[in-house]
Amino acid sequence: MDFIPVNEPLLDGNEKAYLNQCIETGWISSEGPFVREFEDKFAARCGRKHGIAVANGTAALDAAVEALGIGPGDEVILPAFTIISCIAQIVRSGAKPVLVDADPITWNMDVSQIESRITQHTKAIMVVHTYGLPVDMDPVLALARRHNLRVIEDAAEAHGQTYRGKPCGSFGDLSVFSFYPNKHVTTGEGGMILTDDDELAEICRSLRNLCFQPHARFVHERLGWNLRMTNLQAAIGLAQLERLDGFVARKRSMGRLYTELLADIRGIQLPLDATDYADNIYWVFGLVIETSRQLSAAAAMKALAQKRVGTRPFFWPMHEQPVFSRMGLFAKDDHPTASRIARQGFYIPSGLALTPSQAAEVAERVRAVFNA
């Protein structure tokens, strides 16, 4: 039985040709020309004015939080069901993270819970488009306008996705992407911040580059990081970006095939194919086992590993993270949907290189586990 990995990227476009150009010209650092070209083309694709390429998606989030001046006394509202990258810089900055639970159907943040979490200290809402469906943005944007809040949009799983026809990555004061190899566009490691705001763009560029100053390079007014993306990474990113529409189509047909082949298994919830604001792009194909089946995600993943199928658990919610418990955070939080889907949810092989025959094989093995 062949092992089917949880993710494999597709690198069979112009990646090699552009990488060769880096080697032949000697431009391998962040000073090379592909970086600006990738920033410009990626920003244009999302209809944004500025793109700032960085070392990874986590770095993009760190810089976004810092660029907005979030710090002690501020509160930031974000989903409980997300990756640690979203919350890390909020906590490090001394600001207070405020969590909302997940929606049980879309697994995105339940936007109806946001308003009750807003206080006079709230500075920003961080939205995270999760697993292939976007957050319902209209209510979020209306709240942000009404309460004068900043929006940070984590679109790390949403390259090529739209919300009511507008690109994901076009909604935040600052919007961020990751180019990790399981994302729809990869650079190996990499990330991007998008904005229309000239001043925020300048701050992000400066934070990315140690806050060197143009006219007094080694004199610093602010602390930054080295978050620079290399020309080698941007070369791969450009080649990937050229194929984004095809990649999205490929993921959608994978999602439809899985949905068809798994639909009749009793007691598992599949991803929603569409909402009234978006069609799923199936960043990953997640399964949530109903609690009535008395089977945990961990047990199902173990059984699938024995059948040589790669899987990954769902996010573990922020209010259950040991690191935050030790800091005394979230002691009174209860986010039952996030807690349930963390225990009952996992995803099956969903990478771009997955072939329809591999997907059919995965579905067969999943059926064997669940119908045993």
Ligand X SMILES: *Cc1c(COP(=O)(O)O)cnc(C)c1O
Burial 332-369 (b: 16+ CB within 10 A, else e): ebebebbbbbbbbbbbbbbbbebeeebbebbbebbeeb
| Residue whose CB is less far from ligand X, 180 or 370 | 180
Task: Please identify which residue in 191, 310, 345, 351 interacts with ligand X, judged by CB under 6 A.
Answer: 191
Residue 346 as a binder of ligand X (CB under 6 A): the answer is no
Site string for ligand X, 265-304 (x = CB under 6 A): ----------------------------------------
Q: Which ranges of 279-319 does DSSP label H, i.e. alpha helix?
A: 297-306
| Rounded least distance, CB 246 to ligand X, Å | 21
| Rounded least distance, CB 231 to ligand X, Å | 18
Which range of residues in 52-60, 248-256, 272-280, 348-356 is near ligand X by CB under 6 A?
Answer: 52-60
Per DSSP, the residues of 92-127 read HTT-EEEEEPBPTTT-SB-GGGTGGG--TTEEEEEE
| Residue whose CB is less far from ligand X, 114 or 156 | 156
The SS3 assignment for 255 reads: helix
Tokens 């399964």 found at: 287
Distance CA 140, CA 114 (A): 8
| Rounded least distance, CB 318 to ligand X, Å | 12
| Residue whose CB is less far from ligand X, 338 or 369 | 338
Residue 57 as a binder of ligand X (CB under 6 A): the answer is yes
Distance CA 108, CA 206 (A): 32
| Rounded least distance, CB 189 to ligand X, Å | 6
Question: Cβ–Cβ contacts within 10 Å for residue 25, how many?
Answer: 12
Task: Please identify which residue in 58, 93, 108, 311 interacts with ligand X, judged by CB under 6 A.
Answer: 58
- 167-173's contacts with Cβ under 8 Å and 24+ in sequence apart are 167/45, 167/46, 167/47, 168/46, 168/129, 168/134, 169/46, 169/48, 169/194, 170/46, 170/47, 170/48, 170/194, 171/127, 171/137, 171/141, 172/64, 172/127, 173/68, 173/197, 173/200
| Residue whose CB is less far from ligand X, 52 or 369 | 52
Which range of residues in 50-58, 92-100, 215-223, 363-371 is near ligand X by CB under 6 A?
Answer: 50-58
Question: Cβ–Cβ contacts within 10 Å for residue 296, how many?
Answer: 14
| Rounded least distance, CB 52 to ligand X, Å | 14
Rule CB under 6 A: which of 82-141 touch ligand X?
Answer: 83, 85-86, 128
Closest residue to ligand X, Cβ-based? 57
Q: What contacts 60, CB < 8 A, 6 or more positions away?
A: 54, 176, 177, 178, 191, 192, 193, 227
| Residue whose CB is less far from ligand X, 43 or 83 | 83
| Rounded least distance, CB 7 to ligand X, Å | 11
Which range of residues in 16-24, 55-63, 161-169, 196-204 is near ligand X by CB under 6 A?
Answer: 55-63
Rule CB under 6 A: which of 147-186 touch ligand X?
Answer: 154, 156-157, 178, 180
| Rounded least distance, CB 289 to ligand X, Å | 22
Residue 216 structure tokens: 């007094």
Residue 66 structure tokens: 């810092």
Residue 62 as a binder of ligand X (CB under 6 A): the answer is no
Residues that bind ligand X (CB under 6 A): 56-58, 83, 85-86, 128, 154, 156-157, 178, 180, 191
